Chains A and B, each alone.
Chain A
Amino acid sequence: MKITLNDLKQISPYEWKIEQDFFSGMNVPVMVFSQESMLRENLNDRSLLQATHAACLPGVVNKVCVMPDMHQGYGFPIGGVAATSMDEGVIVPGAIGYDINCGVRLLSSQIPAQTIYPLIKMLVGEIDAACPSGVGKSGRFRLSHGELEDVCKNGVKWAARNGLLEKDEESFIEDRGNIRVENTNVISNRAFERGKPQLGSLGAGNHFIEIDIVERVYNPEIAQIFGLHEGLVVVQIHSGSRGFGHQICTDFVRLFNDQVDRYGFNLPDRELACAPVKSKLGQDYLSAMNAAANFAFVNRQLLAYSIREAFDSILEKQGITSSLSTVYDLAHNIGKIEQLKMGGKSQQVCVHRKGATRALGPGNCLLPERYTTTGQPVLIPGSMGTHSWVMAGSNTAEEKSLNSCCHGAGRVMSRSKARKTISGSTVVKELEAREITITAGSQRLIAEEAPQAYKDVNSVVNIIDTLDIARKVALLSPIAVIKG
């Protein structure tokens, strides 16, 4: 089946709808937040078709939302959000992804840009050495089976007990970096084996550490509360649950596929294999996924710890104090049980976000006290060498977009085309000409992750801001990128 622009009903300049009766298996409509030029590009891949497949999930409620950074994933679109009923709905590992709790952390500082420029190459070298990257690469922190179980159950509380967490830092991590885990016995030995040596490592692909300058503040009042000021240095960390999360997803997608006939679901794609949220299999997956989410929170915590050490090591020699504070840490590949208001009614649902960020508005009881009046910081990294954005969640998001927002720029070019048409060394030269330092595992990766392979993040953010899903707070400009 091919979707064309004629199949989408335009609701407003940036809102489009695929009606529930588009084909017979759909249980809800699909809402697409995008502009026509981006949509035309998305029609070249399977992202919208995948969104309609998500709308076929058993027990899916209200609507499936697709953010402007959408692109084709495996089964479920990147930038997609679907909520399922707790009573009749399912949980879908493929709608969360292999990199469970892949997410972003933003660290703020009081360091002026001018101070960091002369030190940037040394600093990048120090961070690169302290934060190992690449598939399967071990981190600085090797845990025993028992210690990793502790991480699974207690998240960043484990880091606090080991002196790896700053005072009250957990308040600025989604779910305080500690999601409840009922049972770790459902996690395979192989997942433990893969996870034990990997905490504190960056991973590969689109994962990165980026040093940025706050280029422009759009909302001074909120930026002040977030600790963001024009001309000061900030650091973004993009990583996830590494081999531990990948193995958990691999294990459960297989189990779900093996049992799919038992539930009699007619699924459009095997990667959407699912089980009722309340079934034993569904609950076992929730436990394992939450454990992987806690692993990822701790992983980003340990990366932040290593980055702090690297800053201290370079800056203290110059007599500069470099304290880095966590502004926020959030997940953009996760499934969560949340209370959502939809169609005027509040309902407990299982929200699947794959390449989508939670965006809580002001007053939400899940926010840390400091952000009660601002809404949740929403972190939107751009592509390599381009701007990134800090936004603040709005109360409009709950009804409009299932309390969710975009997670980045979103790919627009396939990896194979990027490799054929973009030269990694040219990208490096272009970035260096703009005084952006880059270190990466390979030229191939640089070509695949080149800015031309992604949408324009500023256009993506403009759509989100105009729809009032989240509001612009600050624009970040990169000065150094460490790619996984």
Chain B
Amino acid sequence: MIDFPDLIGFIEVDHTADIAIAVTGDSMESLFLQSILAMREIIGVNLNKRVASEKSLTLDAQSAESLLIALLNEILFFIEKDTWPECEKLTICQNRLSLQYHLFRCTTAGAHVKAVTYNQVEIIRHADMYSTMLVFDV
């Protein structure tokens, strides 16, 4: 049984080989934003100089879970280039996501995440909350 956070946020869950987190949000957008914050904390991202303003990104997927995984893997690609997309606005409509962001140079001091996996990912809608598990391959 996984203990999800009572409030909006994320907590690390024991995983032998990789890093697992339980995430909650009060809306789908909030869940996605908390997932981004969780990954940022795991990787230990430190922002440096802003290199671009008001950029945007659009992603489509066949399910909300696929959309979340696609977004986090997209952000991993930014990190591989020593940059971080600081989110300004995130909207989700029918498995289409739009992200407006400012791009920052960054350094990292945490875990080396290779990929975001589909393992145990299932976005569940509760009465007033959304939750999911995420497993990061490290």
- Chain A residues with a Cβ under 8 A of chain B: 45, 47, 71-75, 78, 94, 97-99, 134-136, 190, 194, 204-205, 243, 246, 249-250, 253-254, 257-258, 269-271, 273, 411-417, 441-442, 444-445, 484
Chain B residues with a Cβ under 8 A of chain A: 12, 14-19, 61-63, 65-66, 69-70, 73, 77, 79-82, 108-122, 135, 137-138
Q: Looking at the assembled complex, report how far the CB atom of A198 sits from the nearest CB atom of chain B, in whole angstroms.
A: 10
The residue in chain A whose Cβ has the minimal distance to the Cβ of B80 is A136
A223 to chain B, nearest CB (A): 32
A24–chain B nearest beta-carbon distance, Å: 21
24 contacts between A and B (CB under 8 A): A45-B14, A45-B15, A47-B16, A71-B16, A71-B17, A73-B18, A94-B118, A135-B108, A135-B113, A250-B73, A254-B70, A257-B62, A258-B61, A258-B66, A269-B119, A270-B65, A270-B119, A411-B17, A414-B15, A414-B16, A416-B15, A417-B14, A442-B109, A444-B111
Closest chain A residue, CB of each to CB of B113: A135
| Given A257-B62, A258-B62, A250:B115 Cβ within 8 A | yes
Q: Is the CB of A413 within 8 A of B70?
A: no
Q: How many A-B residue pairs have CB under 8 A?
A: 112
Closest 6 CB pairs of A and B: A204-B112, A74-B119, A136-B80, A270-B118, A271-B119, A135-B112
- Assess the A72–B16 pair: CB atoms within 8 A: yes
Return chain A residues, CB-CB under 8 Å to B69: 254
Docked-complex contact B114 and A98, CB < 8 angstroms: yes
Query: Out of A71, A74, A273, A413, which one reaches B137, CB within 8 Å?
Result: A74
Told that A257-B62, A257-B66 touch, could you supply 19 new A-B pairs with CB distance under 8 A?
A: A45-B15, A74-B18, A74-B137, A94-B117, A94-B118, A98-B114, A99-B137, A135-B113, A204-B114, A246-B114, A250-B73, A253-B117, A258-B62, A269-B120, A270-B118, A270-B122, A413-B16, A414-B15, A414-B16
Q: Which residue of B lies closest to A240 (CB)?
A: B114
| Min C-beta distance of A266 to chain B, whole Å | 15
Question: How far, in Å, is A243 (CB) from chain B's closest CB?
Answer: 6
Identify the closest chain B residue to A198 (Cβ): B80
CB-CB under 8 A for A135 and B114, given A47-B16, A74-B135: yes
Assess whether A135 is in contact with B16, with CB atoms less than 8 Å apart.
no
Write out the residue numbers on chain B whose beta carbons fall within 8 Å of the beta carbon of A484: 112
Please measure, in the bound complex, the distance between the C-alpha atom of A249 and the C-alpha atom of B73, giving whole angstroms.
11
Q: Which residue of A lies closest to B70 (CB)?
A: A254
Please indicate the chain B residues that have their CB under 8 angstroms from the CB of A136 in the complex.
79-82
Q: Are A205 and B138 in contact (CB under 8 A)?
A: yes
Question: CA of A415 to CA of B138 in the docked complex: distance in angstroms?
Answer: 10
Alpha-carbon separation in the docked complex, A441 to B114 (Å): 15
Neighbouring B residues of A412 by C-beta, 8 Å: 16
Q: How far is the CA of A197 from the CA of B62 in the complex (A)?
A: 32
Contact A246 B115 (CB under 8 A): yes
How near does chain A come to B108, taking the closest CB pair, in angstroms?
8
Chain A residues within an 8 Å CB radius of B18 = 73-74, 415
B112 touching A134 by the CB < 8 A rule? Answer: yes
Contact status of A72 and B80, CB under 8 A, knowing A254-B66, A257-B66, A416-B12: no
